[in-house]
Amino acid sequence: MTKDVLHYSTLIDQAMRGVVRDVLKQISRAGLPGEHHFYISFSTVFPGVQISEQLKARYPKEITIVLQHQFWDFKVDERMFTVTLSFGGVPEKLVIPFAALTAFADPSVKFGLQFQQEETEAVESESMDLLQDLAPKAADNVPGDDSTAEIISLDSFRKK
């Protein structure tokens, strides 16, 4: 079998992250319609992620946030999004590069995506650019509801 020199799995992950980016851009302009709400999981150690030291200690590898009723200062650009959430009554600002995402779900329509953590030099280079562009910020986790969403995993399509 031919080696995948075109890196299809990376292209698919980038396309799926683009879906999340486009959805979040739409929400940043028009707000959440109907019952839509999002669970967004991301690596807390990915370069460019900015969360408070308290949250980092509490969630040393990964955190899941919920965008539903109470979130503020929501901004989305091509490489990342920022949002302020309340954790235990304390507002905290999060800076999240799309490359740090590990999962995205909208339980209202049973939609979900799971991402592979990119470990290529290109991603590391882009992450370093992000670090230079960003100022220190803060973050926290929000508990979600008990509903489940169907998660689409691409592992079965990837070469091992």
Give the number of domains in the chain. Answer: 1
Domain contains 2? no
Region 62-69: mean pLDDT is 94
- 129 Cα distance to chain centroid: 18
Q: Is 137 exposed, middle or buried (0-12, 13-18, 19+ CB in 10 A)?
A: middle
In the chain, the percentage of residues whose pLDDT exceeds 90 is 61
Question: So what's the pLDDT on residue 118?
Answer: 57
| Confidence band for 115, pLDDT divided at 50, 70 and 90 | very high
Residue 33, domain extent: 8-157
Across 33-37, 51-55, 128-132, 140-144, least confident range: 140-144
Domain contains 62? yes
Domain contains 129? yes
Res. 141: pLDDT tops 50:
no
Domain contains 28? yes
Per-residue pLDDT tens for 15-47? 999 999 999 999 999 999 999 999 999 999 999
Res. 91: pLDDT tops 70:
yes
Region 104-123: mean pLDDT is 78
Domain contains 1? no
**Mind giving me the DSSP string for the chain?**
----TT-HHHHHHHHHHHHHHHHHHHHHHH---TT--EEEEEESSSTT-B--HHHHHHSSSEEEEEESS--EEEEE-SSEEEEEEEETTEEEEEEEEGGGEEEEEEGGGTEEEE-PPP-SHHHHHHHHHHHHHPPP---------S---PPB--GGGS--
Question: So what's the pLDDT on residue 33?
Answer: 92
Res. 123: pLDDT tops 60:
no
Question: So what's the pLDDT on residue 145?
Answer: 44
> Mean of the per-residue pLDDT values for the chain?
81
- Pair 6, 17: CB distance under 8 Å: no
Domain contains 32? yes
Domain contains 3? no
Question: So what's the pLDDT on residue 148?
Answer: 44
CATH number for the domain that contains residue 77: 2.30.30.220
